[in-house]
């Protein structure tokens, strides 16, 4: 659950003195935990790992779990095992020049994408296992989806659209479920980058807003139609507002891979780089107006705007001007993706990718902002290609990276495998660990 703040913190502090039990989904134990160790009726305090126990639905309990920490002091509690506790999610990640920072120190941003962790109906124990697998590589950060727009309520969803109006699902199958994602990330010492909508039709995204409100398939109305923009801002107000005081969130992203066209393939024909740059300025400023704690990025693929360049990702034809967007004052860092195969790069895709990384590092240096390669993938020769790209990230000075995508073998079965997925028993997994160590050593 969310880390309580303000009046909620005071209420919980007073509750401890009156032996109040932790609520459903609340924390009830773990190394370093000093709060309530009993759960409300109908729930049981369940150990998810050594550092996090949670009140989960089940038989009621009134007995406290075994103590895992001594009385609170001004220093870190003594560990009860030889395994070091993950870093507590205290303090908000910031930026200084081309570096991310945390509590006055460089924060090494490295990790993976796990879009699925909060969308597949996983148990909290499976969420913890998934994050534990990522953390075991030395990762510090996970990128995930903070959206699922549906027109029929079913399973996990965050926003229900009916007759042109949206209702945010704040229950256990909605934002209550995302609370569990945040809690599991926190328990494993990870920070989250959360994308708030999708350019593509997977899990709803932009085209649901457009079709519900305008009755058309014109994807680019998402960036220009006043009613659509107001609806998106309303969702942001609810979602971002819920977590604005939660330090486990590292950053908000405006969208996953925004482009002038989406899955419908239809637009008005008037969308260009200026359209999306203006939209990015407006939405990022809005997020900053309601949440001054967290960083903001676009979540785009990092396309450049050089129309005469022979290489498609450099031509600006999708409506993205990386350098123009990087100069927006309310965007804290730049993002780039890397998929040579999907982009039609057939001649030396590995070498092309290294140049792509270097060019984005150069852009970051020019404006003195962090830039991360937040998605990248190939389906062939992964070990060789990723080793080369990881080396380029280190030597070019690119700030950090998140591989697409993490995978786990869970009690519910294997997590989604799109051909890019790296499970803990994959040969690339130890390469990720070596790279995380290199990112941290670089400082």
**Residues with catalytic roles:** 257, 375
In whole angstroms, give the CA distance from residue 244 to residue 291: 5
DSSP at 408: -
Side by side, which strands form the sheet with 43-49?
Answer: 27-29, 52-57, 43-49
How many other CB atoms sit within 10 Å of the CB of residue 362?
14
Cis geometry, peptide bond prior to residue 405 (ω within 30 degrees of 0): yes
Strands 159-162 and 149-150: parallel
204 burial class (0-12, 13-18, 19+ CB within 10 angstroms)? buried
Assess contact for 69 and 81: CB atoms under 8 A. no
Assess contact for 209 and 164: CB atoms under 8 A. no
Q: Which of 322, 241, 240 has its CA nearest to residue 280?
A: 322
Strand partners, 149: 159
**Residues with Cβ within 8 Å of residue 75, at least 6 apart in sequence:** none
DSSP at 164: T
Strands 27-29 and 105-107: unpaired
C-alpha pair distances (Å), 220 with each of 224, 271, 325, 328, 345? 7, 6, 18, 20, 26
- DSSP, collapsed to helix, strand or coil, labels residue 166 as strand
In whole angstroms, give the CA distance from residue 145 to residue 119: 8
Q: DSSP readout, 341-405? A: TTTT--S-HHHHHHHHHHHHHHHHHHHT--EEEEEE--SSSHHHHHHHHHHHHHHHT--EEEES-
Assess contact for 199 and 205: CB atoms under 8 A. yes
Assess contact for 286 and 240: CB atoms under 8 A. no
Which helix (H) or strand (E) covers residue 204, if one does? none
């Amino acid at each position: 659950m969310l880390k309580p703040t303000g009046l909620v913190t005071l209420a919980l502090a007073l509750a401890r003195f009156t032996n109040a039990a932790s609520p459903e989904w609340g924390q009830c134990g773990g190394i370093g935990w000093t709060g309530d160790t009993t759960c409300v009726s109908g729930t049981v305090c369940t150990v998810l790992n050594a550092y996090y126990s949670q009140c989960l639905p089940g038989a009621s309990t009134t007995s406290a779990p075994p103590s895992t920490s001594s009385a609170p002091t001004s220093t870190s509690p003594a560990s009860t095992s030889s395994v070091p506790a993950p870093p507590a999610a205290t303090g908000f990640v910031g930026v200084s020049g081309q570096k991310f920072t945390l509590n006055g120190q460089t924060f090494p941003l490295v990790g993976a994408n796990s879009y699925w962790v909060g969308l597949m109906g996983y148990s909290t124990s499976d969420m913890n296992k998934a994050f534990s697998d990522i953390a075991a590589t030395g990762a510090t950060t996970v990128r995930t989806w903070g959206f699922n727009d549906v027109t029929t309520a079913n399973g996990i969803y965050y926003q229900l659209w009916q007759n042109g109006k949206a209702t945010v699902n704040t229950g256990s199958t909605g934002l209550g479920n995302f609370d569990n994602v945040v809690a599991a990330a926190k328990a494993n010492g990870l920070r989250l980058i959360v994308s708030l909508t999708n350019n593509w039709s997977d899990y709803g995204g932009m085209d649901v807003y457009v079709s519900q409100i305008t009755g058309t398939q014109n994807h680019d109305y998402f960036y220009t139609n006043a009613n659509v923009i107001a609806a998106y801002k309303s969702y942001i107000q609810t979602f971002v507002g819920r977590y604005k005081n939660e330090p486990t969130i590292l950053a908000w992203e405006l969208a996953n891979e925004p482009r002038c066209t989406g899955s419908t393939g239809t637009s008005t024909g008037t969308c260009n780089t200026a359209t999306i740059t203006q939209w990015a300025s407006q939405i990022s400023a809005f997020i900053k107006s309601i949440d001054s704690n967290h960083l903001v990025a676009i979540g785009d693929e990092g396309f450049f705007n050089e129309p005469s360049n022979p290489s498609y990702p450099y031509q600006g034809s999708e409506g993205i001007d990386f350098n123009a967007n990087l100069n927006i004052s309310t965007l804290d860092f730049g993002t780039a993706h890397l998929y040579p195969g999907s982009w039609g790069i057939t001649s030396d895709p590995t070498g092309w990718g290294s140049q792509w990384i270097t060019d984005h590092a150069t852009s970051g240096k020019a404006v003195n902002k962090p830039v991360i390669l937040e998605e990248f993938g190939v389906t062939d020769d992964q070990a060789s290609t990723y080793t080369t790209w990881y080396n380029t990230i280190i030597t070019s000075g690119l700030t950090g990276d998140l591989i697409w995508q993490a995978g786990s073998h869970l009690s519910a079965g294997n997590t989604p495998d799109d051909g890019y997925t790296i499970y803990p028993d994959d040969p690339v997994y130890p390469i990720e660990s070596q790279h995380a160590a290199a990112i941290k050593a670089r400082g």
